[in-house]
A and B are shown apart, each in its own frame.
Chain A
Amino acid sequence: MDEHHTIALPPMRLSPCASMKAWIVLSVFLAGLVFAAPFFTPSSFVGTVFNDALQLFVCLLVVGLFAQSALLNRGHVRVFWFLVTLAMGVWALSGFLWLFSDLKTQAQDVEIPLADVAVFSKTILMMAALALEPHVFHPAGRRGLGLLDYLLILVYWMYLYAMFVFVSTITPAGRESYEIRFQVMQFAGNLILAATLGAIALAARGAWRRFYSVYFAVAVIYCFSSSYSNLASLVGHLFQGGILDAFYLVSLAAFGCVAICGRGLPSGDLQQPADEAGGFQVVPRRAFWLTRLVMVATLSVPVLGIWQIFLSSFEDAARTFRILCTLGAIFLMTALLFIKQDLLNKSLAHSLDDASESYERLVQFQDRLIQNEKLASLGQWVARVANEVKNSMSSILDRSSSIVGNAAGKESSRRLAGKIYQYARRTDSLADNMLSFAQETPLRMTSVDLKELLETALKLSRVEQSGRVHVKITQMGSPKPIPADASQLLQVFLHLIANAADAIEEKGSGSLAITIQQGKDQVQVLFSDDGTGIENPGQLFEPFYTTKPVGKGTGLGLSACHGIVRRHSGEITFHNRPGGGAVFTVTLPNPSASGGPVGLPLPVFGEEG
C-alpha cells in the first residue's frame, strides 16, 4: 500500500540504486586508504591527522546527504531528517575538535570532554528524531503527548550523563575513571539506539520497514565498531590507520547508506489507519509503557538526589555539581510534566465536549426516530379510517343519488341531494388519496394496454360531458402492453385528465391531446392541454401545494401521482407550452419493448385536438 502513498518527489539526478553504488565504492576506497595509511607514513602523528581528517570528511559528506533528504521531504519527515542531520553535524563538530587538537598539541591521547559531549549528544538527537515517529499517523494533539514523554526520557538520559560521566571531569580524582565511564555510557546509548531502531523496524510497514531495517543494521555495526575501537584505545591503541580504523570509517560511512535509503519515504501522516473513520483515537498501548517508564525515571531523580546528599562528603565540588544537576533536572522534568498535564487537561475537556455533544445528538435522533415510528403507525390507522369513510360515502352516494333520481321529488330537495352527492364524491376521492398515502399497497403488476386504460380513464372522468373539453388520444408506433398496476395507473391518468380539464374550463374551452409514445425501452404518455398553464412549476409535486380555490383541491393529488409513478420506476415531468397550456409527461419503463421507432418527434398540438 505504501507505493500508493509515495509523494511525488522532485527529480533526482541519480537513482537511489546508482547513488548507493557510488557511495559504497567511495567508502570502500576511503577505508582502503585508512587501512593502507600506516604502511606509507611511519610517523604516527601524520597517520592520526590523516585518519581524523578522513573521518571528518566522511562525516561532512554524510551531513550533506542527510541535509539533502531534509530538503526533499516535508512535514514531520523533514523534521526527522533535520534532527538526524543535526546529529551528524554535532558528530562532525567532534571530529573537527579532534583534528584541531591533533594539529595544536601534536600529541596523542588527549582528552577533550567537549568532543565527548558532542559525540554523546549525537545519540540523543538521533533518539529525538525517532521519537517523532514520522512513519506513524498521529491524530491532532496525540503527537505532542508522545513527544513530551520522549523528551522527558531524553532529559533523564542527559541527567544521567551529567551525573555519572561529566561529573568526573570536574574533580581531579574523577579523571581516572572518566574514560571508562564515558565509554560505558556511550555503549549503553548506542545499544539503546540500536534496540529502539530494531523495535521500530519490527512495528513499521512497507518502505519504512526497509528503511528502519537498514538504519538498524548500520546502528548495530556502528555500536560494535565504536566500542571495539574504544576498548582498543583503552589498551593503548593509537588512531593512526589500520584495520580497526578502516572498520570504524566504514561504519561511519554506512550512515550515508541510511540517508540514500531514506529518499522518497512516504509521510506517516498520509497513512491513515482504517480504524480512524470515527475520528477518534484510543490511547495506544505503547504509550502505556512509555508513561510508566517516564514515571519511574522522573521519580528516580529525587531519590538519586537524596542518595547523593547522604553518601557524598560535604566539601566535594562534584557534590555541588550533582545536586544542582539534580535540581535542574527536576525543574526541567516538572516543567515538561506541567505541559503534559495541561495538554491532557485540554484534551480531557475536548473529549468531554465531544462525548456530551454526540450524546445530545443521539438523544435528538432517537426522539426523531420515535416520532417517525409514531407517524408511520399513524399511516396505518389512517388507512382504516379512510376505508370507514369510504363506506360511509358509498352509503351517502346511494341515498343522495336515489333522491336526485326521483323525478317526482321537489326541485329544492333534488338540488340539495345533488350537492350532497357532489361533496360525497369529493370526500370519497379524498379518502382515496388518504389510502394511497397510508397503505403502501404492493403493486399488482399486470400487463396493461395503455390506450385501453386511457380510454377507461377518459370515460370515468366524464370531462367530455360538459362539451367544453375535447380530448384526443393518439398512439405513435405500435405500443405493446407494459407491466403495471392498472388501478393505480388509472388513478394517475384520472388525476391528470381532471387537472387538464380544470385548467381548460378555467379558460373557457379547449382541447386535451393525449399521446402515447413508444420509446426504445420506455413508454411516454403526454397530456398536453391548451389551458392556463402552471404558475409555479417548482412546487408542483410537493404535497399540499395547490392553486385551486380553497375547498376544491387538496394539493395531494399530484404528489400522490408522483409517488405511484415513481413506484413504477417511472417519472412525471412537466413543462409549460410556449403558446399557453401545460404538458405533463408520464414516462414508464418498458423492459419488454423490442425495436419500436426511436427518437420520435414531439407531437404537434392539433387545432381541435
Chain B
Amino acid sequence: MFWKKPRPLTVIVVSLLGAHVVATAILPPESYGLKIVGNIFPLLCGLLLTAQCWRNSRSVARTVRIFWLLVAASFAVQIMSQIYFAYFEVLVRRDVTGVWGDCLFFLLAVPLLAALSVCPHSETASGKLRFRYLDLVILLLWWLCLYSYFAMPWSVVVDDPTKFTTTNNALLITEHSVVLCILGIYGWKCEGAWKRFYAQFFGAYLIFAAGGYLQNAISLTTSYFSGSWYDFPLNVGFVWFIILTENAGVLTPQPAASLQKRTAPGLWSARLAMLAMLSLPLLAAAGFLSSSVPASITNFRLRLICSAIFVLGSLVFVRLHFSEQEIARLVKMARSSVERLKSVQTRIAQSEKMAALGRLAAGAAHEINNPLTAIMGYAELLRDDTGLTTEEFQSADKIKEEVRRAQAAILSVQQFGGATDARAVLNPPLPLVNK
C-alpha cells in the first residue's frame, strides 16, 4: 500500500526540491534571491506538512487523530520559527538577531514527543488515559523548564550567544536523541505498516535533526548563508516527511493483543513525572550554590524553578485528586457489585432446589426413552404376529401411536433442556464470596 505510485504532493515537493537545487547552483552565494529561495522552501514544506497532517487527523481512531494533530502542531511551531528567520532575512534584510528562532526550533520536538507518547499504533482498552496525559504534561513542562534553566538565561538575562548556542545545541541533541530512541523502539516493537512507518519516520527525523544541527554548527562560523548547500540535509528531511505523511494517512491502530498488558494505569509514567519534579529543587540548589554564574542568572533561575514547582505542583495535586476520585468510584462500584452479588446469591440459593428438581426430572425423562423403545419394538412384533384379531391388531397400532406420542413428549423435554444427558447440565461449583 506504500509507494504504489507517486501522489500529487510528492510530485510537487520533489519538483520544488529540484528547483531549489537549480537555484542554489545558479544564483550567487549570499545573494538576496538565494536568501528568498532558502527561506521560502522550508516555509512551503512546513505549510504542506502541516496541511497534510491536518488531513490525516481526520482518522477514525481517536489516538491516531490526536497523534496527527500533535504532529501538525509540531510543524506549525516549525513554520513559526521559519517565519521568524524569513522576517529578518527577506523583509528586514539584515542578519538574524535574537534567539527566538532557535527556541522555536527547540520547541518543535515537544509536541512531537507528546504525539509519540500517545502510541497511535496500539489500541488502548479504555479511557483511563487522563492520568498518563497529566504525567506527560508534567514531563514536557519539566523539559521546557530545563531548557529555560540552562539555555534561556544566556540570551534573556546575559547576552552571551556562544554560551547560548552551545547549551542550546547540547539540549537539542538530547531532545533529538530522545525522539529518535522512541521512534527506534516503536519501529522495533511494531509490525506491518506501522513498522515501516516508524522506520521511515526515524530516517527522515535523523536527516532532519542532523540537518538542523549542521545549520547551527555552521552558523557559528561565517561561511553559512541561507539557501546554501548546508541547507540540503534539512530540506531532504522535509521532503521525506511530506512523502511519508502523504502515504501514512491510511494507518489505523493495531489490536493491542501483540503488546503486553499494562499492569497498573501509568505507574511508571507517574514515577517518572515525580522524579522530574524532585530534580527541580536539587537543580535550583546546585545553581544557587555554584559561584561561577552571575547573580542575575542565579536569581532568574531561582524564580524560574519556584514558578515551575508551583505549576507542576498544582498539576501533581490535580493528578492526586483524579486518582482519589477514581479510587472512590471504583470502591463504590465494587461495593455495589458485591451487594448485587449478595442478592443474586440469595436468589440462586432459592432457585437451586427448583433447578435440582428440574435437572432430576430431565434425567428421569431421559431414562423413560429406554422402556419406550422396548415397547415400540414389541408392538412392532405383535403387529406382525399372524393370527391376531382385528381388535388386537388395532390395539397394537394404538400402542404404537401412544408410544410415539410419549416419545414426542420426551423429545420436547430434551429440546427444552438443550441437553440430552442430564449430567451435562450439572453446574460447576461456584467460588464463594469473600466477606
Q: Which residues of B contact A349 (CB under 8 A)?
A: 263-265, 267
A309 to B323, CA, bound (A): 34
Partner of A383, one of B316, B361, B370, B405: B361
Given the complex, which residues of A lie within 8 Å of B307, measured CB to CB? 302, 306
- A543→B357 CA distance, assembly (Å): 10
Q: Is the CB of A376 within 8 A of B351?
A: yes
B interface bracket (residues with beta carbon within 8 Å of A): 35 or more
Q: Are A385 and B324 in contact (CB under 8 A)?
A: no
Contact, CB under 8 Å: B355 / A351: no
Task: Flag whether B374 is at the interface (Cβ < 8 A).
Answer: yes
- A369 touching B344, Cβ below 8 Å: yes
Which chain A residues border B313 with CB–CB below 8 Å? 298-299, 302, 334, 337
A393 touches B358 (CB 8 A): no
Interface size class of A (residues with CB under 8 A): 35 or more
With A and B bound together, what is the CA distance between A372 and B357 in angstroms? 10
Q: Chain B: interface secondary structure?
A: helix
Known: A373-B351, A382-B365. A327 touches B288 (CB 8 A): yes
Q: Chain A contacts of B334 at CB under 8 A? A: 280, 351, 354-355, 358
Residues of B within 8 A of A482 (CB): none
A348 at the interface (CB under 8 A from B): yes
Cα distance, A348 to B265, chains bound together (Å):
8
Q: How far is the CA of A96 from the CA of B319 in the complex (A)?
A: 47
Q: Is the CB of A323 within 8 A of B402?
A: no
Q: How far is the CA of A364 from the CA of B333 in the complex (A)?
A: 17
State which of A109-117, A173-181, A255-263, A418-426 sits at the interface with chain B. A418-426
Determine if A378 and B417 form an interchain contact, defined as CB atoms under 8 angstroms apart.
Answer: yes
Chain B residue nearest in CB terms to A412 = B385
Looking at the complex, which of A7-15, A430-438, A581-589 is the stretch in contact with chain B?
Answer: A430-438
CA distance A354 to B334 in the complex (A): 7
Q: Quick one: which of B278, B328, B371, B389 has the most chain A CB within 10 A?
A: B371
Chain B, Cβ-Cβ closest to A383? B361
Task: Name the A residues within 8 Å of B395 (CB-CB).
Answer: 399-400, 402-403
Closest B residue by C-beta to A380: B358
Interface residue B303 (Cβ < 8 Å from any Cβ of A): yes
> Do B365 and A385 touch (CB < 8 A)?
yes
CB of B388 closer than 8 Å to a CB of A: yes
Most buried by B among A281, A399, A409: A399
Tell whether, in the assembled complex, residue B368 and residue A382 are in contact, meaning their CB atoms are under 8 Å apart: no
Contacts of A303 in B (CB 8 A): 306, 310
Smallest CB separation, A283 vs chain B (Å)? 5
With contact pairs A349-B264, A362-B340 given, residues A279 and B435 touching in the complex (Cβ less than 8 Å) = yes
Chain B residues lying within 8 Å of A378, measured Cβ to Cβ, are 358-359, 361-362, 413, 416-417
B402 near A365 with CB under 8 A, answer: no
The answer to whether B406 and A392 have CB atoms under 8 Å apart is yes
Within 8 A of B (CB), among A212-271: none
Are A371 and B361 in contact (CB-based, < 8 A)?
no
In the complex, the answer to whether A323 meets B288 with C-beta atoms within 8 Å is: yes
Contacts of B336-364 to chain A: CB distance below 8 A: 337-341, 344-345, 347-348, 351-352, 354-364
Q: A395 on the interface (CB 8 Å rule)?
A: yes
- The one of B327, B362, B370 in contact with A382, judged by C-beta atoms closer than 8 angstroms, is B362
A7 to B334, CA, bound (A): 34
Cβ contact within 8 Å between B320 and A409: no
Asked whether B302 is an interface residue with its Cβ less than 8 Å from the other chain, the reply is yes
* New A-B pairs, 9, CB < 8 Å, besides A334-B280, A416-B378, A554-B364: A303-B306, A309-B306, A399-B399, A413-B382, A430-B368, A438-B361, A440-B357, A544-B423, A556-B363
A residues within 8 Å of B by Cβ? Answer: 277-283, 291, 295, 298-299, 301-303, 305-306, 309, 314, 320, 323-324, 326-328, 330-331, 334-335, 337-338, 340-342, 344-349, 351-352, 354-355, 358-359, 361-362, 364-366, 368-369, 371-379, 381-383, 385-386, 388-389, 392-393, 395-396, 399-400, 402-403, 406, 409-410, 412-413, 416-417, 419-420, 423-424, 426-427, 430-431, 433-434, 437-438, 440, 543-544, 551, 554, 556, 559-560
Which residues of B are interface residues toward A (Cβ below 8 A)? 263-267, 270-271, 274-275, 277-278, 280-282, 284-285, 288, 295, 299, 302-303, 306-307, 309-310, 313-314, 316-317, 319-321, 323-324, 326-328, 330-335, 337-341, 344-345, 347-348, 351-352, 354-365, 367-368, 370-372, 374-375, 378-379, 381-382, 385-389, 392, 395, 398-399, 402-403, 405-406, 409-410, 412-413, 416-417, 422-423, 425, 427, 430-431, 433-435
7 closest Cβ pairs, A-B complex: A376-B354, A379-B358, A382-B361, A375-B358, A349-B264, A375-B355, A351-B330
